[in-house]
């Protein structure tokens, strides 16, 4: 299926958001996920299914600065 991940169209052959994270070697605890303009709760990451055309954004938090 084709998904838009962080602004880029990608092909993905698994069914769940958690599988997508694991395939990209992203630790689910270290990122927030927006699926089709909705920020998901952590427990929703494990249970969210993906479908053709979904739009996913991974939001990383960075520390630093003054």
**pLDDT value of residue 14:** 86
Contact 39, 25 (CB under 8 A): no
Number of structural domains the chain divides into: 1
Q: Residue 14 CB: number of other CB atoms within 10 A?
A: 13
Residue 66 resides in a domain: no
Query: Cα(6)–Cα(24) distance, rounded to whole angstroms?
Result: 12
**pLDDT value of residue 65:** 65
What tens-digit pLDDT sequence spans the chain (66 residues)?
999 999 999 999 989 999 999 999 998 888 999 999 999 998 899 899 999 999 999 998 766 666
**pLDDT value of residue 27:** 86
Residue 51 resides in a domain: yes
pTM reported for the whole predicted model: 0.84
What 3-state DSSP class applies to 21? helix
Residue 25 resides in a domain: yes
Note down the domain range covering 46.
2-59
φ/ψ of residue 34, rounded to 5: -110, 125
Contacting residues for 16 by C-beta, under 8 A, at least 6 apart: 46, 47, 48, 49, 50
Residue 42 resides in a domain: yes
CATH of the domain at 52: 3.10.20.30
């Amino acid at each position: 299926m084709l998904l838009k991940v962080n602004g880029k169209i990608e092909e993905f052959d698994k069914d769940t958001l958690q599988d997508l994270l694991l395939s990209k070697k992203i630790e689910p605890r270290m990122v927030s996920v927006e699926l089709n303009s909705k920020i998901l709760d952590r427990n929703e990451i494990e249970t969210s299914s993906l479908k053709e055309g979904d739009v996913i954004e991974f939001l990383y938090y960075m520390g630093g600065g003054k």
